[in-house]
Amino acid sequence: MRCIWTQVSRANHWPNCGSSLQTVRINFGFSSSSLFVRLRGRSGEGWRIDPILIPCPSATPVPVLVTDLSSGLKCELCFKMFHKSKIKLAALLGLALSVLSLLAHFLVANYSVRDFIRYRSPEEYGYPLGHKLRPRRLWGPVNSLEVLKPYSKPRSFYPAPIEQNGYIYAKIFGGFEKIRPSICDLVAIARLLNATLVIPEIQQSVRSKGISPKFKSFSYIYDEEQFIAALSDDVIVVKSLPAGLKEARKRIKFPTVSPKASSSPDFYIRNVLPKLKQSKVIRIVVSDGGCLEPILPSSMDEYQRLRCRVAFHALQFRPEIRALGNQMVERLRTTGPYLSYHPGLVRDTLAFHGCAELFQDVHTELIQYTRKQLIERGIVDGDLSVDSFARKTNGSCPLMPEEVGLLLRAMGYPPNTIIYLAGSETFGGQRILVPLRAMYMNLVDRSSLCSKKELLQLVGPEYPLPSNFRQPPPRKSKQQLIEEWKKAGPRPRPLPPPPARPFYQHEKEGWYGWIAETDREPDPSPMDLRNQAHRLIWDALDYYVSVEADAFFPGFNNDGSGLPDFSSLVMGHRLYQTSSAATYRPNRKTLVELFSSTHDNLYHPAHNWTVLVRDHLNKSLGVDGFIAEAESSKTASFLAHPFPECSCRTAKSSDISGHAVLSSREQQSSKTSLYATEDECPDWMVHGLARASLKDTGAKDEDVEEGESLEDDNETDNDVESDSGSKSDTNRSTEQDEEMDPDD
């Protein structure tokens, strides 16, 4: 090791030292006994330095005794010693530069966000943990829709079924969003044909799919006893065909009908009823998410109310699903209200609309493959390659999770808002949810709310399935290897290839198990079929939690395909159960235009952009969104908008004149109000709601005043509040927390 000594003290501090010692360097070396130091300088030959032992490097100046050999004078100088290694000097210099760079980065970051934090709205900071505030503007209720109440009981002569023309048994194909409206249509058809309905068979949950033997098809998600009892005054429902007809059913001796979702009542009266009377049994195969047109003539309003009674009263999930759903709702509301969000990112739906370019890598290839299959089957009438961004501009593609997060942030939802992610399938996986999770850290789903044990209890005991592993060939004996060696060709021969690595289960599950190996999707394995059945349970849980949510935001409802979707069913159920609940009905085309106008500043938009977003979403909560949904969704599915047939109003027309909004541009000239077609609620319902109102008004008013005072402290854009957030409406909904069932 070599060190350099530098002089610290000046020579004039010691008169005995000459000027020649002002700048000197000392080299030293180690020996077995002591440290030898040799002075180098302009006149260093005439000086002697006493031997010393000093560590290298030296942090403090060290005195060194120097003697002039010619005169004998002695002086004491102070020196410092440091490393001469260039590598260590470079390392120290690099470390110093790194520290300076880090400090500069912190200063720049602090300076860049200083103004943003200074002018940040107090709403964005959120509320303390456990502080259960419900600002009216964010969580409702929507005042303009409070007068609408659920009322699906018959309102005219409605005799109970007596004579029967025969039996109807049905098979339903499709997922959860197709099963529910199909069952409602089958009940209405059984009433129309005066037939006995056998509990429908859900093909996705039959025992051949590998479900637990504890359940049958229908009972896998729904309560059979409740279904039969709730419809006793409407339709006779049995669990199976009589014993004498079961054998004929196995031999398929009965006629089969495969109606379209747009089939009219006349189709059943003219074509199906004669076959039913002749054979006494008829089979209906439903695959389009329904078998009866959604909009019926006004003379058949009782059949529409029957649909409502089936969907919202008779079709109850089995007790285990309801119990776990209630636990999930309680866990979500532990810290306050929660919002449910369904992305609507389903592979088949994205392929139907041609939204492949919104994704990346293999996801785009998979959507294109699915779209090709739909074109070959005649489901899609269009080109394989379409402009996904043009389709999105037209409103035909879903809002991405990142865009939904920006909309919620513009509305004023704090970052600690509880958001429940609904849907058994989110195409794109967790990667596409990263931006939303970055904005709202409390993004949860059923897997984070429930333990694996709780979810497995819903599935029930299942028998093991055969493994999907590729079984390696059996090991050959030594004698077999010798025989193969002798029978092989001329030598020298190349060495055999090394054995292939084993394939693991996760490598062969889902789309990534085949997309990189072949151009054709393989047939679903037994495990795939079982997972499809499990999705019915997961969708049932998500449906229950979404209906009970304090607010609901759809990512892709009313997609224009004419088929029912999950979000539309939830929105229709929430509208029937509590019409004033905060249910957003966004216009995707309008929102895409707003996003395009601020594409370069999505995360720091201008104030007027935020005002426009709030104005649009607030209007979607109220009458404007109600009317737009009636004009678009009801034509695809009656359950998406069961009004006015399944509702009534608690106030007279003169009392709701302030809320009356014209239903369309054509109706504006005739001054027709929204509530012109609504019947008034019966007196027993009005009196019951009034008693409930007097009981709960005091506590609710205190909560509203506290929440609104905190919400409105720094509100700067109250002038754009719509009817759903109007501050002129000061009375809280009397039915918000305690909704009376009109059928009780």
pLDDT at 518: 76
User: Each residue of 203-233: b (16+ CB within 10 Å) or e?
Assistant: bbbbeebbbeeebbbbbbbbbeebbbebbee
Highest-scoring range by mean pLDDT, 97-101, 698-702, 725-729: 97-101
pLDDT at res. 499 = 76
- Indicate whether 733 pLDDT > 70: no
Q: Write the pLDDT tens digit of every residue in 311-333.
A: 999 999 999 999 999 999 999 99
Peptide bond into 55 cis (omega under 30): no
Lowest mean pLDDT among 205-209, 363-367, 510-514, 613-617: 510-514
Q: pLDDT tens, 427-472?
A: 888 899 999 999 999 999 999 999 999 999 999 998 888 765 556 6
Cα separation, 536 vs 425, in Å, equals 11
Which range, of 322-336, 662-676, 681-695, averages the lowest pLDDT?
Answer: 662-676
700 against 273, higher pLDDT? 273
d(Cα 409, Cα 432) in Å, to the nearest integer? Answer: 18
Alpha carbon distance 375, 359 (integer Å)? 20
Q: Is the pLDDT of residue 495 over 60?
A: yes
- pLDDT tens readout for residues 105-156: 888 877 765 444 444 444 444 444 444 567 788 997 898 898 899 999 998 8
Residues 408, 610: contact at Cβ < 8 Å? no
Q: Are strands 338-342 and 281-286 parallel, antiparallel or unpaired?
A: unpaired
pLDDT exceeds 90 at position 517: no
What tokens were used for 255?
């006629």
Tell which wins on pLDDT, 76 or 222. Answer: 222
Q: How far is CA 376 from the centre of its chain?
A: 31
Residue 616's H or E segment, with its range, is helix 607-621
Residue 419 to residue 252: CA distance in whole angstroms: 49
DSSP strand pairing (3-7 vs 25-30):
antiparallel
- pLDDT at residue number 73: 58
Other CB atoms within a 10 A radius of the CB of residue 276 amount to 22
Helix (H, G, I), strand (E, B) or coil at 521: coil
Which tops the pLDDT comparison, 542 or 735? 542
Cα–Cα distance measured from residue 310 to residue 304, given in angstroms and rounded to the nearest whole number:
10
pLDDT at residue 405, as a whole number: 96
Average pLDDT over residues 166-193: 94
pLDDT for position 506: 63
**Phi/psi at 62 (nearest 5 deg)?**
-115, 125
- Domain segments of the chain: what residues? 3-84, 88-119, 161-316, 338-345+398-462+522-642
**pLDDT at res. 22:** 40
* Top-tier CATH class for 161-316: alpha beta
What average pLDDT score do residues 357-372 get?
Answer: 89
Tell me the sheet residues that pair with 115.
none
Where would I find the H helices in 562-639? 566-577, 588-597, 607-621, 623-632
Query: Residue 486: which pLDDT band, with cuts at 50, 70 and 90?
Result: confident
What is the structure's pLDDT at 164?
86
pTM of this prediction exceeds 0.85: no
Q: What is the mean pLDDT of residues 64-82?
A: 58
What is the DSSP track for 207-223? GGGT--TT--SGGGTB-
Six-digit token string for 299: 């003379």
Q: Residue 192's closest CA among 295, 250, 80, 270?
A: 270
Q: CA-to-CA distance for 605 and 410, rounded, in angstroms?
A: 9
Alpha-carbon dihedral 726, 732, 736, 739, rounded to 10 degrees: -120
Distance CA 466, CA 525 (A): 10
Tokens of 541: 């849980």
Please tell me the predicted confidence (pLDDT) of residue 737: 37
User: What does the alpha-carbon distance between residue 147 and residue 136 come to, in Å, rounded to a whole number?
Assistant: 17
- Tell me the C-alpha distance between 359 and 370, whole Å: 14
Confidence of residue 693 (pLDDT cuts 50, 70, 90): low
How many Cα atoms within 13 Å fall on the side-chain side of residue 618? Answer: 24
Q: What is the mean pLDDT of residues 673-685?
A: 69
Give residue 60's pLDDT band: very low, low, confident or very high (50, 70, 90): low
What confidence score (pLDDT) does residue 472 get?
63
**What is the mean predicted confidence (pLDDT) over 289-299?**
91
209 and 194 Cβ atoms separated by less than 8 Å:
no
The proportion of the chain whose per-residue pLDDT surpasses 90, expressed as a percent, equals: 44
Task: Provide the CA 277 distance to its chain's centre, in angstroms.
Answer: 48
Instruction: Say whether pLDDT at 39 is over 50.
Output: no
Measured CA to CA, the distance from residue 264 to residue 133 in angstroms comes to 49
From CA 389, how far away is CA 599, in angstroms rounded? 14
Report the mean per-residue pLDDT for the chain: 78
Instruction: Answer yes or no: are the C-beta atoms of 406 and 602 closer than 8 Å.
Output: yes
pLDDT in tens, 328-351: 999 999 989 999 999 999 999 999
**Per-residue confidence (pLDDT) for residue 160, from 0 to 100:** 77
Residue 229, pLDDT score: 94
Amino acid 362: pLDDT: 84
